[in-house]
Structure 1
Amino acid sequence: MSKLHTYTTTVTWSGNLGTGTSGYRSYERAHEVTAEGRPAIAGSSDPAFRGDPARWNPEQLLLASVSQCHMLWYLHFCAVEGVVVTSYLDRAEGTMAETATGGHFTEAVLRPRIEVAEAGMTGRALALHERAHRSCFIANSVNFPVRHEPTVSVRP
């Protein structure tokens, strides 16, 4: 039996400079992403599309979602399998192709750097990435490949 989960967010545009969208250059792409009980995320478009580089853009947030989901499943499976992770850092990278009709992501590459408590855990720590990938809600929802290039070291 499947369970349904519903999520709600609110996106509020704050970039009206007084004339609305009267022209392509007449408004800012500034907005806030909110959800009840959570801090706001300051958003904009990518600077390539006249966005504010100090704010998160949708492409970064999509990539962060893929990375977060993978990490959370991975840590879960490590805990269940007795792999003690002491550090996890992922420098993910996504590639988007801009086309005449819009654009799309062509791939995401996760590069998690994991530290484990003992040398005997490294093989299992590497193998659990595939299981986390198969379980990740976000990776299962996107229409582009998500690859993994993990490394595992032992806590000194």
Structure 2
Amino acid sequence: MSEKGRHDYAATVVWTGNSGEGTKHYRAFSRDHEITCASKPTVFGSADPAFLGDSSRYNPEELLLSSLSACHMLWYLHLCANAGITVTEYIDNATGRMIETTNGSGYFESVTLKPSIRIGAADDSELAKSLHDKAHSFCFIANSVNFDVGCEPEVLAG
């Protein structure tokens, strides 16, 4: 049993990219892998194509960006429901910037969430816009990263 307030998660990542030579040299293997969590559908991952990955699969950088976006959205929808604001549409075209360093490592410098939200015609659009700040402060993922996460919301009524 978990402690109150503590949530434990588990994921299994399996490398599926052994082309027969293992990691004998840098170009000898595929970066393909599969991510599973319990009995949920498998996420097919790879590296970014810049690092010899398969562009048809999700890469870790895209998954980090989408995790930030989804966490913010879920908090925002929760806060709007509590505030009596009816959100009828939500789409976020989030962007992120990763910097590669001279030693080959890298880090995310920033992420910008760009949610476009449609609310009910009679709802308070200023309140709806302000709830993004509160959603950001509650977002589990944003609270766990060490780079700037900005938000440029657009709220449309009706």
Bigger mean CA deviation after superposition, 96-105 or 107-116: 96-105
Counterparts of 1:136 and 1:41 in 2: how far apart (Å)? 23
Residue 79 (structure 2) aligned to one of 72, 77, 80: 77
Residue 15 (structure 1) aligned to one of 17, 23, 26: 17
SS at match of 2:47: coil
1:131 aligns with 2:134: yes
Residue of structure 2 equivalent to 1:45: 47
1:96 aligns with 2:98: yes
Q: Please tell me the residue identity of whatever aligns with 2:155.
A: V
Q: Please tell me the residue identity of whatever aligns with 2:115.
A: P
Residue of structure 2 equivalent to 1:150: 153
Structure 1 vs Structure 2 CA RMSD: 1.1
Q: Please tell me the residue identity of whatever aligns with 2:60.
A: P
Q: Please tell me the residue identity of whatever aligns with 1:44.
A: S
- 1:37-90: CA deviations, max 9, x gaps? 200000000000000000000000000000000000000000000010000000
Cα distance, 1:36 vs structure 2: 0.8
Residue 117 (structure 2) aligned to one of 78, 100, 114: 114
Cα distance, 1:100 vs structure 2: 2.2
Runs of 4+ in 1 over 4 A off after TM superposition: none
SS at match of 2:155: strand
Counterparts of 1:110 and 1:29 in 2: how far apart (Å)? 28
Q: Please tell me the residue identity of whatever aligns with 2:14.
A: T
Q: TM-score, normalized by length of structure 1?
A: 0.97
Cα distance, 1:2 vs structure 2: 6.2
Q: TM-score, normalized by length of structure 2?
A: 0.95
> How many residues are treated as equivalent by the alignment?
155
Structure 2: 5+ residue stretches without partners: none
Q: Please tell me the residue identity of whatever aligns with 1:90.
A: D
Cα distance, 1:3 vs structure 2: 1.4
Counterparts of 2:83 and 2:66 in 1: how far apart (Å)? 25
SS at match of 1:78: helix
Report if the CA contact (8 A) 2:123-2:157 is conserved.
no
Counterparts of 1:140 and 1:70 in 2: how far apart (Å)? 11
